[in-house]
């Protein structure tokens, strides 16, 4: 068993029909899907999820975007999951993301950037717990 990270396929990528392609890339990169659901975030829940950014100028836009449509939330498992997944998704701004990364291939802009990946083991745990309970994560 490896360790875990948390991801969301964001509303832009869901609306643009990229769920299948993104899940394929995740799977081909060696991540096991531990838990997954297609759902929606209310404005309140999106605000809570991104509370660490609440003083940033883009916070309002971020919360509005993340609550604008369906998302796919998932817990993923692999050795070195957090770091390897951040590499797979690429830089926050797709203009700076490496070729072949998920954001380079599927993101529209820095704000509408297709996918989330946890930035630490601690946040992976917190974020997975935000969406999934008990047996779902077992
Ligand atoms: P990441 O998602 O790469 O961890 P982050 O934690 O710095 O990036 O920011 C969270 C999200 O907020 C990011 O995925 C998209 C949005 N965001 C970040 N910087 C932004 C900016 N300068 N303008 C608009 N949206 C931004
Ligand atoms: Mg982040």
Average pLDDT, the chain: 97
Read off the pLDDT of residues 74-111 as tens digits, 9 standing for 90 and up: 999 999 999 999 999 999 999 999 999 999 999 999 99
Per-domain residue ranges of the chain:
3-137
Provide the pLDDT for residue 2. Answer: 77
Report the helix count and the strand count for the chain, using DSSP H and E: 7, 4
Distance from the alpha carbon of residue 135 to the mean position of ligand 2, in angstroms: 27
> Is the ipTM beyond the 0.90 threshold?
yes
Binning pLDDT at 50, 70 and 90, where does residue 1 land? low
Read off the pLDDT of residues 25-59 as tens digits, 9 standing for 90 and up: 999 999 999 999 999 999 999 999 999 999 999 99
- Degrees, nearest 5: CA angle 53-96-70: 55
Question: What 3-state DSSP class applies to 6?
Answer: strand
May I ask the CATH class of domain 3-137? alpha beta
The percent of residues above 70 in pLDDT, for the chain, comes to 99
Distance from the alpha carbon of residue 118 to the mean position of ligand 2, in angstroms: 6
Check if the beta carbon of residue 115 is closer than 8 Å to that of residue 8: yes
Atom of ligand 1 nearest to the CA of 86: 3
Active site includes 18? no
Ligand number nearest CA of 94 is 1
């Amino acid at each position: 068993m490896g360790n875990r990270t948390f991801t969301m396929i964001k509303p832009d990528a869901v609306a643009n029909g990229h769920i299948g392609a993104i899940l394929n890339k995740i799977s081909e990169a060696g991540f096991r899907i531990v838990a997954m659901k297609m759902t929606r975030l209310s404005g309140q829940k999106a605000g809570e999820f991104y509370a660490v950014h609440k003083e940033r100028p883009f916070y309002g836009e971020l919360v509005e975007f993340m609550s604008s449509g369906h998302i796919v939330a998932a817990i993923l498992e692999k050795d070195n999951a957090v770091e390897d997944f951040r590499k797979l998704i690429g830089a926050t701004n797709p203009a700076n993301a490496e070729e072949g990364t998920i954001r380079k291939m599927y993101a529209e802009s820095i704000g509408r950037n297709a996918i989330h990946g946890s930035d630490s083991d601690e946040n992976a745990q917190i974020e997975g717990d935000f969406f999934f309970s008990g047996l779902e994560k077992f």
